[in-house]
Amino acid sequence: MQKPFGAPINEIVNILVVEDERKMAQALQDGLEADGYTVRVAYTGEEGFYLIQAQAFDLAILDVMLPGHDGFEILATLRRRGVRTPVLLLTSRDAVEDRVRGLDLGADDYLVKPFAFPELLARIRMLLRRGQPVSSARLKLADLEMDLAQRLVVRAGQKLDLTAREFDLLEYFFSNNGRVVSREMLARDVWKETARQTPLDNVIDAQMVRLRRKVDGQSEHRLLHTVRGVGFVLREGNET
């Protein structure tokens, strides 16, 4: 399972920085690492977009002004796909419409350049504290909702009748925040199989068919997707 946000000190907190200006990116990396964070830098929006879907980051710092797909576009696409990693936007202008647009698109906070580094660190701490642990009570993607406390799953207002295993599977997909989950991960984390056995792939596939029938069977918008050769993903939209 993914570790909760706002994890205690000594736990690794992974931060992704998406910033095309090398000096700025380096300054961010140095400053954050000095404060104990583990930092990965992406210099283009495309690379950042790829990394944030492929890896478990606790937070992403996303510069709005990027060549190609800018920070707004990247943020919008991530949120559309159900990726919930907290995002702090860096804007160069203190334009109200930029801030409003960023927050509307699903940013968790923003900071106007130039900023004082201690302020950035304070914002980061706040976002990490605010982030909900994945095991918290309610999870939601489009019209699919999970209440972990009551072990209740609802799609478009209709209660779904899931087995305990199906419930655990769905929770696992939610905890992966729109990232692709491999059969190996499912075997290890949901079935708790440490020794990999080929027959389990068939069990997992059969289970996925049943889960998908229940989750997506009555809806024209599929949320559980197969990613050929890789695994499965819970997200909105058809493309992978």
Interface with Ca ion (CB under 5 A): 20-21, 63, 65
Torsion sign across C-alpha atoms 71, 29, 6, 97: negative
Cα Rg, the chain, nearest whole Å:
19
Per the CB < 8 A criterion, the answer to whether 109 and 75 are in contact is: no
Secondary structure element (H or E) that encloses residue 92, with its range: none
Which of these, 146, 142, 152, 121, lies nearest to 134 by C-alpha position?
Answer: 146
**Based on CB atoms, which residue is closest to Ca ion, 99 or 225?**
99
Q: How far is the CB of 240 from Ca ion (least distance, A)?
A: 28
Neighbours of 150 (CB within 10 A): 9
**Based on CB atoms, which residue is closest to Ca ion, 40 or 210?**
40
State the residue for tokens 């660190």. 121
Strands 14-18 and 59-63: parallel
Q: How far apart are CA 147 and CA 108, in angstroms?
A: 23
Q: How far is the CB of 63 from Ca ion (least distance, A)?
A: 4
**Based on CB atoms, which residue is closest to Ca ion, 7 or 65?**
65
Q: How far is the CB of 87 from Ca ion (least distance, A)?
A: 15
**Based on CB atoms, which residue is closest to Ca ion, 20 or 201?**
20
Q: What are 154's strand-pairing partners?
A: 145, 159
**Based on CB atoms, which residue is closest to Ca ion, 112 or 148?**
112
**Based on CB atoms, which residue is closest to Ca ion, 61 or 190?**
61
Which of these, 66, 81, 58, 50, lies nearest to 4 by C-alpha position?
Answer: 58
Minimal CB distance to Ca ion: which residue?
A: 65
Q: How far is the CB of 51 from Ca ion (least distance, A)?
A: 17
Q: How far is the CB of 126 from Ca ion (least distance, A)?
A: 23
Q: How far is the CB of 223 from Ca ion (least distance, A)?
A: 34
